[in-house]
Amino acid sequence: MYTSQSRMNPIAMIPASLATKVLNQEVGIKFQGVIRDIYNHLAALVYREAGEEYNRALILPVIDDGEMYIGGELYMDWEDPDLHPAPIEKVLIFYKKYIETNFAYYKGYSPVKVIKVKRSEEIEAVQLRNLLFVPASAASNEKYRVAISASPTDIIDVLEWNKNREILLGENETELPGDSERMEIKEFQEIFEHLRLTFANWLALNEGGGEFRKRLEGVIFSRRLPLYEKRKRLEILLANKVASWITTDFHSEDSEQAKEVSLLRVDCRVRSQDKCVGKCMWKQGGEGGSCLLHVPEQTILTEESQRVSASRVLLLRLIEELLRYGERRKQLLDNNINRLVNIEKPVVIPVEGSTSNQVIFPEKSAAWFELLRLEWASKPDEEPRYLEEMSGKRAGVPLAPQYKGTILPPRLQTILNGGDDVVDPKTSAIRLYRLPLAALVMAVNLTGKELGITSDVRSLTDTMLRGIVRKTGGSVIQIDLRKDPSDANMITGARPIKSLYPNMPIPVFVIMDDGSSALLVLDPSSPIILSREDMPAGLIRQIQTTLSTKRGVMGLQEVAKKPTLTELRARLQKEKMTEDDIEKAMVIGAPEASVAPAPAPEAPPAPAPEAAPAPEAAPEAPPQGPPMVSRVSNLRAMAARKKAAQQESLEAPPAAAPRLKNLRAMAAQRKAAEQQATQ
């Protein structure tokens, strides 16, 4: 996994999805956005204190695990001009109150040092126990400055994210043949994209839209004007306005200013003087000055390197897009311009104390593919190896140091070894990672609240174990040392019907004799769930025996897919499903609704009320034959009965008249009986 800071173990970093899941439940802070580093990787989450008017960023470095963030701010570098780190006392409170308490499983997220940069000797960051740097600003008042001055402090030359920015965006002193012309064309294309963004923003404003927009669209979409006339009219409308946005003045300090490249395209018109950098340049004027788009005087037009006026080319290209290219015109009129800059430039960085240089190649450059080709050519197909080197086993991993809380008790060693007289070398490499259960389940990217684990829970119940399986799609084991070895529930667990992928690591939770909980790992400083290769043979046998007696739990991969409304309607049309059948099909995991043949219509009632007509006898079943022949015969018989019943119902007289006659006769008889009884 990629980490924004070098020499970092990704396993020791909090996954982005877990951090979001936990911190979004806190009412004292609010999610503000994400930071992407200079290589466009997710590097950190940004929060702020709830109710704070000025957005001071509380930054949490995370590891990218695929979580998507649609809302919130997007900061395109650790030193994005819109990112304002919170004062150092706020950062320390944030980590003490929210991070250390909620993420006890990740012990490296504790501030240990204050970091200052040599050039300014101002507080720039806080260093965590796992060596990560967190941006921070100076203390907000004298009281906190005095308190922070007593903390351990390191002064460094440059922060790593500044070095990465220099590597990616710095000047390149070596060029491939024809590379300078290609980069000049790319640079001019980028200037034109800035102009397109400026035009789209201006057109979307009230003063730029309205009447002028109607005139502009009237020329563009006119059917009576020829193309050359449209070009001339647009040039009259736009020439002065575009000329007021750009400048071709060049000064000696502009070469240094051009190095401050941004990954975002900007509208230079709205930039202040301190932010007028990169493709923008501040020009003094009558009202104090304005920020303008910096354009070279000339640019290359043809393959013969013919040079023409750059500002003229920009204007004509803008007119052509408005008239002839529908998709590009739609972007301009709808203000839907891509704001990300495409950077393609190999970079050479000198290494201090060495005669060689460090070269960074963008993956889309021709130099990168040339480098790969040379690398592939230098590797021989086969190399002689010693017999010991041909083993399929991986190289040995140094054992983690043992402390009082990480040593395996003798009873647990016996279980892992598989007996009292058996010693497995893999057992000696395993350590205990002790934490409360609510913190330990973060090893599988879950929280205690999701599983219902409270502070008084001492062991995982069967419901909790099955919950882990449902959410992760893998097996889980728990060893309870408080129980007698003869107890069948001393080792329990749960398994899915089918694992998400083969050889999936199995977390092994241990409940100690004193009721505390632990997780089996190789190194408590970088806790990782044991893989099957790291497990002793005795533990593997215990896992197989325990899980073989458990019924498989429906995991992530086995969840039934809900049919769509279109599929249900098609099935209803095809099989004549009832409403009850549709409701059953919408339930996950429910069996498909079976459709019975439509019943025959009821026979009409008999004219006489005294006795009901006897039901018509069903015809005899066809003779038994081969399965397919018998099935066809039955279907034909059912169709014949249905057709006969429909025909009979059509030919039968209406049933309402005989029924009314019978009711009148019954009423007359009852009246006659009452008169006779009265007499």
Instruction: Evaluate if residue 601 carries a pLDDT over 50.
Output: no
The terminus-to-terminus CA distance of the chain in angstroms comes to 107
Q: Which residues contact 399 (CB under 8 A, 6 or more apart)?
A: 428, 429
pLDDT in tens, 610-659: 444 444 444 444 444 444 445 556 667 777 776 776 665 555 454 444 55
Q: Average pLDDT for residues 72-95, to the nearest whole number?
A: 89
Closest CA to 178 of 306, 297, 313, 303: 303
Higher pLDDT among residues 362 and 191, named by residue = 191
pLDDT in tens, 518-532: 999 998 888 888 888
Question: Which residue among 169, 187, 209 closes a domain?
Answer: 169
Q: pLDDT band at 388, cuts 50/70/90? A: low
Whole-number percent of the chain with pLDDT over 70: 71
pLDDT reported for residue 422? 84
Residues 184 and 231 in one domain: yes
Closest CA to 183 of 442, 366, 389: 366
Beta-bridged to residue 480, according to DSSP, are: 511
Residues 84 and 104 in one domain: yes
Q: Does the residue 569 lie in any domain?
A: no
Q: Does the residue 652 lie in any domain?
A: yes
Least confident of 380-389, 485-494, 498-507, 645-654: 645-654
Residues 188 and 330 in one domain: yes
Q: pLDDT band at 573, cuts 50/70/90? A: low
How many separate domains does the chain show?
5
Question: From CA 507, how far away is CA 476, in angstroms rounded?
Answer: 5
Residues 138 and 210 in one domain: no
- What residue type is 459 in one-letter code? S
The residue range of the domain holding 246 is 179-334
Residues 111 and 249 in one domain: no
Residues 538 and 494 in one domain: yes
Instruction: Evaluate if residue 565 carries a pLDDT over 50.
Output: yes
Residues 185 and 308 in one domain: yes
Mean pLDDT taken over the chain: 78
Q: Average pLDDT for residues 53-66, to the nearest whole number?
A: 85
Q: Average pLDDT for residues 330-336, to the nearest whole number?
A: 90
pLDDT in tens, 426-438: 999 999 999 999 9
Q: Average pLDDT for residues 12-41, to the nearest whole number?
A: 88
pLDDT reported for residue 379? 60
User: Given its phi and psi angles, is residue 302 left (phi above 0), alpha (psi -120 to 50 degrees) or beta?
Assistant: beta
Q: Which residues contact 159 (CB under 8 A, 6 or more apart)?
A: 78, 115, 117, 124, 125, 133
Q: Does the residue 249 lie in any domain?
A: yes
- What single-letter DSSP state applies at residue 387? G
Higher pLDDT among residues 590 and 415, named by residue = 415
Question: From CA 99, how far away is CA 109, in angstroms rounded?
Answer: 7
Question: Which residue among 119, 140, 169 closes a domain?
Answer: 169
Least confident of 512-526, 543-557, 648-662: 648-662
Torsion angle defined by CA atoms of residues 278, 284, 289 and 290, in that order, rounded to the nearest 10 degrees: -30
Residues 110 and 33 in one domain: yes
Higher pLDDT among residues 4 and 46, named by residue = 46
Question: From CA 601, how far away is CA 617, in angstroms rounded?
Answer: 15
Instruction: Evaluate if residue 227 carries a pLDDT over 60.
Output: yes
Instruction: Evaluate if residue 479 carries a pLDDT over 50.
Output: yes
Residues 239 and 367 in one domain: no
pLDDT reported for residue 540? 92
Instruction: Evaluate if residue 679 carries a pLDDT over 50.
Output: yes
φ and ψ at residue 392, rounded to 5 degrees: -85, -5
Residues 372 and 424 in one domain: no
Residues 40 and 129 in one domain: yes
For 224, half-sphere exposure in the C-beta direction (CA atoms, 13 angstrom radius) is: 1
Q: pLDDT band at 271, cuts 50/70/90? A: confident
pLDDT reported for residue 632? 57
Q: Does the residue 392 lie in any domain?
A: no
The SS3 of residue 114 is strand
Q: pLDDT band at 393, cuts 50/70/90? A: low
Residues 158 and 214 in one domain: no
Instruction: Evaluate if residue 13 carries a pLDDT over 80.
Output: yes
pLDDT reported for residue 179? 54
pLDDT reported for residue 432? 93
pLDDT reported for residue 158? 80
Least confident of 84-98, 144-158, 339-353: 339-353
Q: Does the residue 213 lie in any domain?
A: yes
Closest CA to 649 of 615, 618, 605, 604: 604
Instruction: Evaluate if residue 509 carries a pLDDT over 90.
Output: yes
Question: Which residue among 504, 522, 548 closes a domain?
Answer: 548
Closest CA to 43 of 92, 10, 85: 10
Instruction: Evaluate if residue 292 carries a pLDDT over 80.
Output: yes
pTM for the whole thing?
0.52
- Contact in structure between 413 and 427 (CB atoms under 8 Å): yes
Question: From CA 479, how far away is CA 511, in angstroms rounded?
Answer: 6
For 622, half-sphere exposure in the C-beta direction (CA atoms, 13 angstrom radius) is: 15
pLDDT reported for residue 355? 57
Q: Average pLDDT for residues 601-616, to the nearest whole number?
A: 44
> Within 424-578, where are the H helices?
437-440, 448-451, 462-472, 537-548, 565-575
Question: From CA 30, how far away is CA 58, in angstroms rounded?
Answer: 10
Q: pLDDT band at 33, cuts 50/70/90? A: very high
